Amino acid sequence: MSRIIFHIDVNSAFLSWDAVDRLQHGETIDLRNIPSIVGGDPKKRSGIVLAKSIPAKKFGIKTAQTLVDAFKLCPQLVCVSPRYNVYTKASKAMMALLREYSPDVEIFSIDECFLDYTTVEKLFGSPLEAAYVMQKRIEDELGFTVNIGISTNKILAKMASDLEKPNKVHTLYPHEVQEKLWPLHVSDLFMVGRSTEAKLIKYGIDTVGDLAQTDLNFLKYILKSHGELIYNFAWGRDVSIVNDEKYSLVKSIGNSTTIPYDITEREDAARYILSLCESVGMRLRAAEMRAYVIAIHIKTNGFDTIQKQHKMLYTISSTNDIYEEAMRLFDVLWNQVPIRHLGVRVSQLQEELPRQLYLLKQEDEKIETLDQTIDDLRERFGKEIISRASLIQTKVKSMSGGVGDDDYPGMRSLI
């Protein structure tokens, strides 16, 4: 029996979720209906575009574009800072709704998932009927729209959901591959990034159909094993299953900043690192997660990048713990060369669970309660409502809620 797989993808997820939350809290303007973006620090116009509205897209604004360039294209652009606690709650609500239709739901990233519909068709009707019902329920009950792709495997379902947006349902069954998939530009195929695209274009492989008709041995020669992978994808071949293990919605959380002057003193670096740790810690707690791995990276004024990470024996979420480990890594890593860019990242995340407090960590509960109180104040009254004494009257501003150059939710592989 052929499988039936759905791929559900939220349209402009961060911006849609932000817009819905603001409307629910009394705002009258829907961010989705005006030129708007989510990203960076709106006051400084620093950082990158994480999500954009359809009106913003008409101005040529693209995801991952710098805020400076986005505002050049559209001076009246509305920019809001990301709120990961809002996004996590919206994502969990959607996953819970979808699990009413199938127990086999695989979280692929914070805004998309796969659903195995194979064994439940008798309960909820044909795949198309069920997809439209799910889509309407998500819009009516949660307030945002999704695209749904339907096929017999995950790669074709994912490609189907991308065919036309927003708020569409598409099929891409094996017999439809030549008609619907092959005319697409090769860069539209999943797992074809910029580097791979450039190599394919160099050899006249412009469309997915061109890729499918190219000799496999030649693709393996120029792209190694990756050539065989995308060749199979071009033919719609994929044997991976929908894995319903309870994965984290986010694989890592990080923040980074380019400093307006060269840092030459440890004390100055420590203040910037503390501010970055505040931002990372606040978002980690908002996502109700804890982290095993702490990482720090440094870019010198000569544009050399050095980085180091460490896995803890236990998970942490408090700003103080993240900062303490980040500074330990910094002291090991820094070679006294002037610094222009700093970043802090946490990874190997797990959901907040009851845990044993270690003998040397008896103050953890009090510290985490204090962190949560500070987070709540900043959420209600703005991030400037409370600041650490060590950051007052210094060159460093609080980065809580800001966006670094490398701020992206994690994405899981199809295979």
Is the Cα torsion angle 172, 177, 180, 183 positive or negative in sign? positive
DSSP 364-383: HHHHHHHHHHHHHHHHHH-G
Q: Which of 75, 404, 112 is nearest to 252 (CA)?
A: 404
Sheet with 78-80, strands from edge to edge, namely 51-52, 36-38, 78-80
Strand pairing class (305-316; 252-263)? unpaired
Helices vs. strands in the chain: H and E counts, helices first: 14, 12
Helices (H), 138-224: 154-161, 194-202, 208-212, 216-223
Q: Which of 409, 194, 404 is nearest to 299 (CA)?
A: 404
Residue 103 CA to residue 163 CA, distance in Å, equals: 26
Sheet with 169-171, strands from edge to edge, namely 105-109, 112-116, 5-10, 146-151, 169-171
Neighbouring C-beta atoms of residue 12, cutoff 10 Å? 27
Whether 265 is a known active-site residue: answer: no
Q: Which of 10, 16, 17, 71 is nearest to 40 (CA)?
A: 71
Helices (H), 111-153: 121-124, 127-137
Residue in the block written with tokens 């800072």: 81
Q: Which residues contact 248 (CB under 8 A, 6 or more apart)?
A: 289, 349, 350, 351, 410
Q: Which of 100, 106, 112, 121 is catalytic?
A: 112
The residues assigned a catalytic role are 112
